[in-house]
Chain A
Amino acid sequence: MSRRRVGRSAVVLLAGLAVAPAPVRAPDGGPRLAAAPAGGGPQRVTVTVTGLSCPFCAYGLEKRLRRLEGLDSLHIEFQSGQVVLYLRDGSKVGDQELRRVVQDAGFEARKIERAPLPPAS
C-alpha cells in the first residue's frame, strides 16, 4: 500500500472516529453499544421519570406515550421509575419530544438513554 493511500486511510479513520456517536453502556448493564440518534433503526429508549408513585397518576403518562409515532410497545416500571419504550425502525421521536410528553403528563424526565436493537429479520 502506498504512503499516500495509508495517509488517506488514516484521515478517513480519524474523521470517522470524530463524528461517530460516543459508545455507551446499555441500560441493563449489557455490552457497550453505539448510542442511536432519533431517526435511526429500531431502538430501546429508557426514560427515567420522577414522581411515578401510583397508577392513577401514572396512567396519563402511559396514555400520552402510546400516541407517539413509531412506538412498538412500552412498559412502565414503578420500582425503578423507568419507562421503557421500543421504537420501530425509522421512528423520529427525539429526546425533546419525549421530555415534552412527560412534562405534559405532570412529571419530569430525569434521564433518557437509547440503545439500538437488531433490525427485525
Chain B
Amino acid sequence: MAPAAATVWGQGMPFHTPTALPLPLAESSIRSFYEHRAMHTLLDNGRAVANPQGLRVDVDAVPLMVPHGVTRSTILIAGIPYLHKTFRQSGTVRTNSGFGDAVLMVRQTVLAADFIKGNRRMVLFAGATLPTGETESDSGPLPAPLRLGLGTVNVLGQAAYSYVNDRLGLHGALGYTAATAAKFGVRIGDRLGYDLAFGYRLLPVTYRTLHDVTVAGYLEFDGTVEQPATRSGNPLANSGGHTLSLSPGLQVIPVPNWALEGSVQVPIVRQLRGTQLAPTWSLSLGVRTVLYLFGR
C-alpha cells in the first residue's frame, strides 16, 4: 500500500506529474509537501461493498526531495518520505511512524528544442527505491497496511515530456517500477505509472518582470497499473489492478525561487483485483524552492 514511487516523487511544476523543465548546473532544489491519503473504500473486483470490519487506512506523508544539477543535462535526485500510518479494523486502531523507502534517481535530458516563451523537452529517469522503510517489528512482520516500505530494492525507469508555450503547459510521463526480490515470501507486482498534466497560467496575463507573482492551475490524470503480487510465482487474489485519479491543483510563485502548491486527488477508476481497500481521496500541500548555493 506504499505510494508508487512514480507518483509520490513527481518533479516539476504540476504536483504529481514529472516534468522535463530545466534545473541550472550545480544548483539544488528542495521540494517537500504534506500529503494525506485516505483509503476507506472496500472494493470487491472494482465494486464498492459493505465494510463490516470498518477497515480504514490513512497515510500522512512528508517527503523530502533534493534534485541537484551535475551537468547541463543531468540531474541527480535523492529523496525520502516520513510516514505516519493509521490502520483501523473492528474498532482497533494501530499506528506506525518513521522514514519510508529512500529513492535515488538520475534524470537525463535527451531532447531540448526550446523556443521563445516556451519549452519542448524530454527527459529519461533511472533509479531505485531502497528498503529503508520498516517492514517488521520485534514480533515479526508488520501487517501490510502498517509497513513503512516495500522491503526490497525496486528499480524504476521513466520518460517525461514537457511542452510549455507561454500560458499553456502540457506534461506527460510514463514509468515502470519492478521489484528485485520477494519479501516475506511475497513479490510485489510490477507497476506501470502514467501521468498527464495540463497547466494554465492564470496570472499574470503577460509578464512585466521576472518578479511578477505567478498563479497557475493544473489538471492532472495520474494512473497506475499494477500486476498482482505473487507467492512462489502464483498470483495473489487480492492484489493488483488499475487506478486512475483526477488531480486538480493550484500553484503560486510569490517570488521567483519559491513555489507554494496544493492538489486534491479523486479516484475516477478503481479496477482492483479481488477484495481490496481502495484510495478514497488525498490532499497535498507543499513548497518547493531552488537554492542558489554552488553555482559559479
Contacts and interface: CB of A to CB of B under 8 A. Distances in A.
Interface in A30-61: 48, 50-61
Say what secondary structure dominates the interface of chain B: loop
Interface in B5-30: 13, 21-27
A50 B164 contact: no
Contacts of A75: 209
Contacts of B26: 104
A48 B116 contact: yes
B90 to A, nearest CB: 48
Contact of A53 (B112, B118, B206, B296): B118
A81 interface: yes
Interface residues of A, number: 30
Given A60-B295, A62-B210, A81-B117, A53 B164 contact: yes
Contacts of B207: 55, 77-79
Contact of B116 (A61, A80, A105): A80
A64 interface: yes
B211 A55 contact: yes
A67 B294 CA distance: 13
Contact of A56 (B13, B72, B119, B212): B13
Contact of A106 (B22, B209, B253, B259): B22
B72 A103 contact: yes
A104 B72 contact: yes
Contacts of B116: 48, 50, 52, 80-81
Contacts of B164: 53-54
Interface in B153-194: 164-166, 169
A56 B210 contact: no
A59 B25 contact: no
A87 interface: no
The 3 closest A-B pairs by CB, nearest first: A106-B22, A51-B114, A59-B256
7 contacts: A55-B214, A55-B253, A55-B256, A56-B290, A57-B22, A60-B27, A107-B22
Interface of A: 48, 50-64, 67, 75-81, 103-108
Given A105-B22, A107-B114, 9 more contacts: A51-B114, A51-B118, A54-B164, A55-B212, A55-B253, A58-B256, A103-B72, A106-B23, A106-B69
